[in-house]
Structures are given as C-alpha cells and as structure tokens.
Amino acid sequence: MTAIFKNAFLFLLILFYKLDAQAQNPELEKHNLDFEILDKGAVKGWEDFGRGLYKIGIDSIVTQKGKYATTIEFDKDSTGFRAWSYAIPARYNGSKIKLTGYIKTQNVTEGWAGLWMRVDPKVGFNNMKKQGVTGTTDWEKYEIEFNYNPLKAEKIFVGGLLVGKGKMWIDNLEVTIDGKKLENLKFFDKPQLTKEVQEDLYKRIKKNRERVDLTSVKKLNKSLESLIELVGDKKIVAIGEDTHGTSEYYKLREAITKKLIMEKGFNVVILENPYDDIEILTDEIHNKNLDSLMRKHLFSIYQTQEMKSFLAWYKEEGFRYNVEFKGCDDSFWVLNEILTDELLKLNNPQLIEMYHDFSEKVTLSIEEYLDKYPEKRKLPKNNYELNKEAYNDILAIEEYLIEQKLYSERLKELLLNAKTTYINYKNVIDEIPIQSRDEMMAERIKFLGTKPDTKIIVWAHNAHISNSVIIDNEIGIMGRNLKQFFKDDYHSIGMSSLNGTYSFIEEKFINGDHKFNDRLIKGYLSNQPKITWETIFGDQVNDAYCFQTNNINMHEDIRGVLKLVGYRKESEKDYYQLSPFKMFDTIIFIRTTEATTPLFPDNF
C-alpha cells in the first residue's frame, strides 16, 4: 500500500531511503517457518483461516525434518478449505520472491493441497491451484515464485492450504528474495511520516476541523448541522467505525442517521449483517420482543444497548418516514424461508417445483442429497457442485419469472441476494476467481441504490466503506466499487479514536453459523504504535471533531499507521500502513472512547 510520494508535495515530508541500513538484521527474530517454536502448545506466529470443518494440528511424529510439522485434515460435513498463515513485514529489497516448502498428503480429493504466498497490496499471489498435490504422496519439495516490488509491498503472507477432503502435512518453509534468505537481506526503509509532516498536518486539521459535541443529544445534533448539509444531497452516505464495539460510534451513527432521515429524506439504512436475518427482524419487529429478535438475527457484536436504541426508534418512528432497514451480508440462514413464502403467494405449480429443487440443494448435505435422489441422471460429487446446481436453479427461477411476467421488485431483491450468496460455489467449480465478500456487499447496496427515489445510509466498518481497496486485495472493494459507480454521490465517513475501551467477541468466523450468542468482552486499546494517524489527530485535543479530507490538501500517497480493529480482540496486526485521506471523504475523531453496553449482561 505504500507508494512513492510525488515531488509536488515534498514540503509535506522528508523522503529518505536507507538502502544500506545493515548487512545483517541482528534485531530480526528468527521467522518460525519450520514450526519448531511453540508457545503454550501452539505454533508461534501462525494462524489459520478458511471455511468448512477442518482439524489443524501439530505432528511430532511425522515430520520432514526437525521436531514438528503442521497438519490440516478435513473433518466432516461440507468441504471448503483451511490454510495455515504466517505474516512477515515486507521490509526487504529485491525483485523476485520465492517460497519453498515440503508437503506430504493422504487421500486428498475434491481439491488439492499446496503452498500459498501473497504479497500485499496487489503485488503477487499463488496458491498452487494449477499444480496442487492430490492423492497420497510422501514428503516432496515444492516452490512458488513471482515478481516482488519493495516500494509497493507491505506484508508477505505464506503458508499451506488444503482444499477439499483428505489430510496434509507441511514442514520447513523458506522465503528467499533474489535467492537470498531473509536473515541475510538488508532492510529497505520506506518513506515515513516525519515530525515536520506531523506538525504541518496538525496545523491543517486545526484550521479546518469542526467540534462534535457529545455532551448531550441536543448539542450533538446542533454540532452535526454543517455535516448534514454537506452530505444531505448524496445518494449514499456510508458511516464507518474502526472497531465494531465502540459506544460513541453508534451514538454518532444514530444521530447522523436520524437527521438524514428526518431532514434530508434518506429512506434506507443498511447494516453489515446478513440480509435475510434483517428481513426477518423488520418483518417481526412490531409483533415480537425486540431483545429476542436482536439475539436471533443480529451478529453478536451488535447485541448492545446502543444498537437497541436505534432499533427502538426505527420500530416506533421509522414508518412515519417510510424507512427500510436492510442487511448487506451473505444470506445462508433464513433466505430459503423468505423465498418460499414469496413464491407460494404466486400459486404457480411449476415455479413451486423449481423452487423445491433449489431448496433441497441448499438445506441438505451432499450425503443426504445423494441418499435421497440416487436416481438423478447427473449427481453432484461434492457440496461445491451441489451448491453450484443451486445457483443454476436460481437463474432458472429468475428466467421463468421474467417469461411469465411475475418478476416483482421484491423477488428481484431476494434473488439478487440469493445469487450473490451462492455464486462463488459456481466460481470454484468453474475455476473462476471467487468474488469477495466486499464485492458482494457492494452489489447488494448498488441494487438498492439504483432505484430512483432511494437515499441510503450504510453502517459498516471503516475497512469496507473505504473509497479505495486497502487490505489483502479485497477489503475496501465495497466502498471502492460504490465510489466508482456513484462517484460524488457516494460519501464515506470514517470514525477513529486514539484510546479507551471497546467490545469484542472471540468467534473467529462471525458468519460461520447461525448461533449469534457469542459473549461480548470488554477490552482496552493497548497495541497502538508510538506514531499513528490517531496520535496526530489527537495531538493537543480533548474534544471530538470532524473535518473534510479534501480541505486538508494532504496528498493521498502519504501513509502512516491506522487502526482497523474488527469484531475480535485488538492486536498489533490491526494497525496498517494506510492513507485515511484516500479512504474517507469525512473523518470524525474522538480521542477517548468507551466499549458498547451489552444487551445481555450475562454474556459480558
């Protein structure tokens, strides 16, 4: 994400490269690429990610060399993938990067085993998909190599992955750049924010900031007036947050949202939550207890008094302003029920039969489906193929609805969410690059935004609403795509803080199942580096304030450390080299914030 800064803005920073920093890097810890260093029974520095049920482990018996190797093994139910991941700061010079390592496999089917390496942002990626290992094999050395750009590279990720069924062992990885081991390479110092740049930026912000008064609702509303006038004519206003568990962010969102609805005619609020769950919540909000609806249909991180405050207002006042409340995340859980209800209203036997085929495929496992329909002419081989067929069923239903002139706006919306939820099963089988969560959320918001009388407010994380792609060639695509499509009619408001408390959950995959009952935990922001955008924003300031990034005249290529904590516990990995001036149109900064208040205290 770091780029060369342009000459016209040299007065903002002192650019220096220390290409000859050291012949060796004595302060550099040994990278644990051979899995030999354990910490409390876990492989130090390594994490896992993926989808589907897999076991990850450490093997002290079957190794290529040394005491330990790591394993990934398919467990049961739906196949997916699981990967081991190790992150390395990209602070080395060179032009070619190579990952080598050893793999052993056992009965790998319906996919492959392989090494993988990615250099962010958008420098290079390879996961051995085309030359992956299948079947049962003994230890063998493999390698991945691609071009490396030290000016652009920020982080190197390496590891091994298993797609489909079977088991794999991974051992003795090594990263080299231009044939040299990392510990033998010189550091490549990238442009940094100097003290002079920080002081200049502070002066610019001081000149252009406007106070945001959080001392009372009345004063808050008054202090937001100029912001509301600025964004009131936009098509989409996206309000972000740098943690999902900060109380002040929700209070600000609620205040901004209400004013945009009541004063500027905004009529759709979209939350970063499963679309189908929000549909059920809004359908039942006047008939059922709000707490129980939030428990069942909102991600655990949203089950707070702050979120309830807005939903209570929406329940009592939303109808007066014809406001719709929507979700924009994947719909794996109750969309089938909603579609069933809508299609039954049409009383069309052929359509009901078509939909029954789709419903069976999304509710049954591959084993259950094959047991139930052994006579099918062409049987799917795995869950990916089964769900690809479900996606094709959606397309057939859509085509039939169009032919029969039955395709209502309501059904268009429901089927759009179904298509964007299941399309990646088709992409995997057809060996097409998968479409990211951010891309899908952008498509759902864009669908609503293209309606002529719609004015939308989006509640999502700073990383998603960003005007540019910022992390892993994926995060930020939502905001980037919306900005490209709606141009100046899309306005992103990033919210940031320096210190304080926040709420988090320990669940690794927030949409991994439909049990939204994770415990909210109170944490303290404690991993802030010494110099960050937040420390600059908070210099000599106690009050909250906002400013428009285009008024600061800060070049977008100037980067520093920015906090982006999701729904999990903050760590040093939640700080990224980014430019908030490229990411947001407006920034609201609060020096010290507090954790959200859990709706269910027993879970706090």
The CATH number of the domain holding residue 40 is: 2.60.120.260
- By the 10 Å C-beta count (0-12 exposed, 13-18 middle, 19+ buried), 473 is classed as middle
Is residue 12 in a domain?
no
Residues 448, 432, single domain; the answer is: no
Chain centroid to Cα 51, Å, comes to 14
pLDDT above 70 covers what percent of the chain? 92
Indicate if 354 and 209 belong to the same structural domain: no
Domain presence at residue 370: yes
311/424: higher pLDDT: 311
* CATH number, domain with residue 460: 3.40.1660.10
Residues 215 and 316 both lie in one domain: yes
Same domain assignment for residues 238 and 316: yes
With H, G, I as helix, E, B as strand and everything else as coil, classify residue 198.
Answer: helix
Q: Which residues pair with 401 in a beta bridge?
A: none
Query: Which of 156, 184, 212 is at the close of a domain?
Result: 184
244: nearest Cα among 323, 314, 325, 329: 329
64 belongs to a structural domain: yes
Check whether 446 has a pLDDT greater than 90: yes
CA distance 501 to 569: 11
User: Is pLDDT above 60 for 339?
Assistant: yes
Answer yes or no: do 240 and 301 share one domain.
Answer: yes
Answer with the one of 387, 412, 436 that is the final residue of a domain. Answer: 436
Does residue 484 form part of some domain?
Answer: yes
Q: Which of 184, 210, 236 is the last residue of a domain?
A: 184
Q: Calculate mean pLDDT across residues 4-10.
A: 27
Same domain? For 172 and 248 the reply is no
Question: Are 304 and 362 contained in the same domain?
Answer: no
pLDDT tier, 163 (very low <50, low <70, confident <90, very high otherwise)? very high
Residues 345, 442, single domain; the answer is no
Per-residue pLDDT at 380:
84
Instruction: Answer whether residue 50 shows pLDDT above 70.
Output: yes
What are 165's strand-pairing partners? 109
- Are 431 and 446 found together in one domain? no
Q: Does a cis peptide bond (omega within 30 degrees of 0) precede residue 121?
A: yes
Q: Are residues 463 and 569 in the same domain?
A: yes
Q: Give the structural domain span for 351.
A: 335-436
- Give exposure, 506-542, as e/b (b: 16+ Cβ within 10 Å): ebeebbeeeebebebbebebeebeeebbbbbbbeebe
- The model carries a pTM of 0.74
Rounded distance, CA 278 to CA 122, Å? Answer: 34
The number of domains in the chain is 3
- Arithmetic mean of pLDDT, 324-332: 94
Q: Are residues 34 and 161 in the same domain?
A: yes
Query: What is the per-residue pLDDT across 511-562, written as a single tens digit (0 to 9) for each?
Result: 778 889 999 999 999 988 888 999 999 987 888 999 999 998 776 667 788 9
Summary mean pLDDT of the chain: 89
Whether residue 5 has pLDDT greater than 60: no
For the ranges 40-49, 162-171, 452-461, 546-555, the lowest mean pLDDT is seen at: 546-555
* Ordered alpha helix ranges (H), 209-348: 217-223, 225-231, 247-264, 275-284, 290-297, 305-317, 335-344
